Structure 1
């Protein structure tokens, strides 16, 4: 650990915020890889719409990872962007849907977004007490993630407001429900 951090934070507080950000970095790195996996493996009648909808999400999430990594460095810590770091920090299962139709992937991806957004909101709560600059960065990122989830859910919602995979607790269950409905 460095002897420095950003002005106004103690080294201990800087390190604490960096630890929280490391979890976000691993989540963002995993999410951008998952999004590319969906992009490469989506098939069916809605292929092109979903294929093209995913790429801007990938680019923004990659940018979030870069912003988070640079914030970790500014706080005096070393960001870890390796596959090993993702695996170590992971509290979620690896994305499990292979080549499949758009609705199946989107239903599974909805659960991925729910997990990332929930964890981001927890991180916002934790860093907000210590570092409003980091809090602000995470709030902006989370707002965009919520918008992406809305794009995904628009493909899965019926006119009554229910999702085709309502109640699914795993990606495979969500994909199966979407295929059947």
Structure 2
């Protein structure tokens, strides 16, 4: 089952697509050149983990992309989220060597693998501020069950956006879902 959001720019339409059986998230683009003549292609660069520039990250982490409400019907029950709080890895050398802290809450669960697992999107607008800040735009890995409980976490990895001529790699796990339940 497809869940779609369409946005038109001239004859180029962008669909935020979710398919029940998909193995990964993607943005699907299509162009209407004539009635009933639709050209489809997809963009697999859903996260900013492999960006080449700040503009690439902005393209893939646009506000439309992060409109959480379009990933599910309004009548559906809210899906769970996770908290996260972590330091990104060190960057630069000498006196400029530093890291940043990032904290926040993931987006709602997005089913994958036919609904047997799920991922979450993370859009962290800012790390802490030294004389600059970075953004984190990514999708978590699938749920990792914690043995002996009905709880799970998610692995999160990638690179921050570029600022002040550098980026920071990150690798962390989310906190467990519903820690007090």
TM over 0.5: no
Larger strand proportion of the pair? 2
TM (norm. structure 2) is 0.26
Larger helix proportion of the pair? 1
TM (norm. structure 1) is 0.26
